[in-house]
Structure formats: C-alpha cells, structure tokens
Amino acid sequence: MRNALFTVYGATGFAVAKPADFEGVANYLLLSKIGLGFCGYGAKTVVEFPEGDFARLQIGLKGKAGVILGSTATIPVNEQQPGITPPGQPTTIVFEPGFEQLILRIKTGALENALTTLLGAKPRGSLVFDPTAPPKPPTAQLLRELIMFLANQLNSMAAQLPKSMLQELEQALIVSFLSAHRHNFTELLESSATEPAPLVVRLAEEYVEANWARAITIEELASQTNTSIRSLYAAFKKYRGYSPMRFAKTVRLRRARQMLLEGNPKTSVSQIAFKCGFGNLGHFAGDFRQMFGELPSEVFARAQRAR
C-alpha cells in the first residue's frame, strides 16, 4: 500500500497509528483529463501529498476523514461533505478507521480550458478554488452522481463505454466541478449565464468574429462600437472577465486550431499562423500551447496522420 501511495498517488508521507491493525485497499484509473480512484483504510492513517498540477475531490462513501491544507483548520470529509484540494496546494489527509472514498483528480489545464470555453475567452489570472466554501447542493449532487456512474461503468465487467462517451463524461465532470465548487471566477461564470452583456460588448465580439483573419487594434474596436477605449475595457472586464484584445486573440487561436485539425497537406503551420493574423511564430506557438495544452505543430502532425 505504501508503494502504491508513493508511486501512483504521488504521496510523500505515510504513517499508520497502529501498524498491526492496518488494512488498506486502493485502485486508480487515469483517463485523458481526469483520474478516478477508490481507497479504504482499516486503521487510522495519515498521508501527506505535495502540491500537484490538479484539483482533488474526495467523495466519502463510509466513515470520516480530514483534509489539512497548510496551516488551516481540518476540513471534514464524510458521506455528506466532500473535500477539495486546490491545485498547487500541499495536503495532509487523516483517514479514520473504516473510511472509504472515491477520489477524482482533474488536471489544472483541463479546468482552465473548460473555464475558457464557458466564458468565451481565457480570463485574467489563475484559477483559485476556495476549499472551505460549501459546495452548491444541486450541482454538487449532480457531480456526485456523475462520479458514481462513471465509477460503476469503469468497474463493470460488461462492455466498456465507447471512447467518445468517456470523453463526454470527462467534460461533463469538469464543467460540473467548476459549477459546484467556489473559485475566483464563480461570480463571473454565473453572471455570464444569467446577465446579458451590453450592446457594446456584443458589437465588439461580432466585429472580431467577422474580422478574425487579421490583428485588430483596440482603437479600431472602440471606433466600431462608438465608445471610448476605457469604457470598452471596463465593459469587457465586468461582463466577460477579460480584455477585448484577449478575446480577439482567443478567436484567432481557435480559428488556427480548426485549420490545423484539417491537416491539409497543401499548407503548413506557419502559413496557418500568418493567415490567422499571427506575425511572430514563436509567440503564436506559446499562446497556442497555453490555451490548448499542446503545440500547433503537434496538432497539425496528428491531423495529418489521421487523414
């Protein structure tokens, strides 16, 4: 068990209150964007984890545990209350005797990409979760049911789910996680779904979409929307959480990705970059990787192999 915790789960510390009474069981399956596992302990066990590039959600099935984040108070985990460990946060987890749980781990990049998709462009700043805030009941219950469904399907000896369905389930879990647990973009995420953006924002977005093939200046956007640059920035910040120029770059990056996915042998990565308004190939590759988690050359090569 110690070896599995260190090699599979990435633990750095492991201690058992009464080693003679220790019993443990664990398994873990890694998918493309998430990991799902189960573990249970017969004796009180303390496990330490370093900071990781993922968020961890503990779904209690039986008994109780506690999550200690840094110097904060212990956050209880049981059948009624899940526990969350934000990305980049070292953690100590205290498992009481008889505790059993499901563990969901979601890569930070997958969370950020999903948030970008939901908001329409990459927001300013890093995604930061509040582990002490209680989850929102309706969405948290949906998330739990999705996790239980996926666990049952993966544990079944019957025919396995098709790859496409697994990918859809992964995405549903990620979106549900973002909706169920409070973070620094929660209010923006909720307002973008309920409060319509003002006309100036919509006009700017429509203009960018219609002129995606070239680099648009902020002065041009302000002129087209008949507003000041300051007012345009303020409207985007309030209703979108990002600047108008970040939105313009996001649109061009998405168009570039669409072209790369076509894998057209008569074109190249550099030609696609220039066609989408990117004059610096190094900056294009860096921005593309930051948004999609891979280089444009990797996407293009994969698309060509699939033709």
pLDDT in tens, the chain (307 residues): 777 777 777 888 888 888 877 888 888 999 989 999 999 998 999 999 998 999 999 999 999 999 998 766 788 999 999 999 999 999 999 999 999 999 999 999 999 988 888 887 778 888 999 998 889 888 899 999 999 999 988 887 666 778 778 888 899 999 999 999 999 999 888 876 555 678 899 999 999 999 998 878 899 999 999 988 888 988 888 888 888 998 999 999 999 999 999 999 999 999 999 999 898 999 999 999 988 888 999 999 999 998 7
Domains and CATH numbers, the chain: 2-188 (2.60.120.10), 196-306 (1.10.10.60)
d(CA 76, CA 133): 12
- Go through 64-81 and write b for each residue having 16 or more CB atoms within 10 A of its CB, e for each that does not: bbbbbbeeeeebebbeee
